[in-house]
């Protein structure tokens, strides 16, 4: 049996592969995205700041920058990036607290960066309303059923 963290990672990989194979756009999981893309799009400050964070935080796999709500980086046709949060398995519905990290990042980022939220269940009224009045946030339902037996 797999735990929720493992299910979440499987869902993130599924969404990344969908972006690459269906939408024909480059996409990276947060911890595999080249640092230069993150720096060019103001998602991190610098290589040096990342090096200092690496010494203190020691998490992640490649660039070791802490995941704060951004699961996937998608490269758009204009070479700008979009940020993506994936939420899988919230049977009681996705609420604002569940997406606070990416929404905070969206609020402080350049308006050229689009935010996508992919989810598998229902949304709260507040999230639906906020997405309707926000031009740079797109929320899409992606239903996926994965049966894994161990």
Query: Residue 37 and residue 83: Cα distance in Å, rounded?
Result: 12
pLDDT, mean of residues 36-65: 68
- In terms of average pLDDT, the best of 3-7, 47-51, 76-80, 132-136 is 76-80
The reported pTM is 0.76
Helix (H) or strand (E) holding 12: helix 4-21
Position 114 scores a pLDDT of 83
How far is it, in rounded angstroms, from Cα 108 to Cα 104? 7
Choice between 39 and 134, residue whose per-residue pLDDT is larger: 39
Question: What domains, with CATH codes, occur in the chain?
Answer: 4-141 (3.40.1350)
Q: How far apart are CA 45 and CA 43, in angstroms?
A: 7
Q: Kindly report, residue by residue over 89-146, the tens digit of the pLDDT.
A: 777 777 878 888 887 777 777 667 888 888 877 777 777 777 777 766 666 545 443 3
Q: Which two tokens stand for residue 97?
A: 């607290």
* 3-state DSSP helix/strand/coil % of the chain, to nearest 5: 40, 15, 45
Average pLDDT over residues 45-53: 71
Collect all residues with Cβ–Cβ distance below 8 Å to 147 and sequence separation of at least 6.
none
Higher pLDDT, 83 or 64: 83
Quote the tokens at residue 89: 């398995």
- Distance CA(113)–CA(76), nearest Å, equals 10
The overall average pLDDT reported for the chain is 76
Selected residue with higher pLDDT from 114 and 50: 114
Residue 6's contacts (CB-CB under 8 Å, 6 or more residues apart) are none
- The residue among 126, 145, 146, 148 whose CA lies nearest residue 137 is 126
């Amino acid at each position: 049996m797999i735990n929720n963290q493992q299910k979440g990672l499987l869902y993130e990989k599924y969404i990344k592969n969908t972006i690459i194979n269906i939408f024909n756009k480059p996409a990276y999981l947060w911890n595999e995205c080249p640092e230069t893309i993150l720096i060019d799009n103001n998602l991190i400050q610098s290589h040096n700041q990342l090096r200092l964070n690496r010494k203190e935080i020691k998490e992640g796999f490649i660039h070791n920058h802490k995941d704060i709500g951004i699961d996937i980086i998608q490269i758009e046709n204009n070479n700008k990036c979009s940020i993506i949060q994936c939420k899988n398995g919230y049977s009681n519905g996705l609420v604002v607290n569940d997406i606070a990290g990416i929404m905070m990042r969206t609020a402080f980022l350049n308006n050229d960066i689009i935010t996508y939220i992919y989810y598998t269940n229902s949304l709260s009224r507040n999230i639906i309303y906020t997405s309707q009045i926000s031009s740079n946030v797109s929320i899409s339902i992606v239903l996926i059923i994965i049966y894994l037996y161990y």
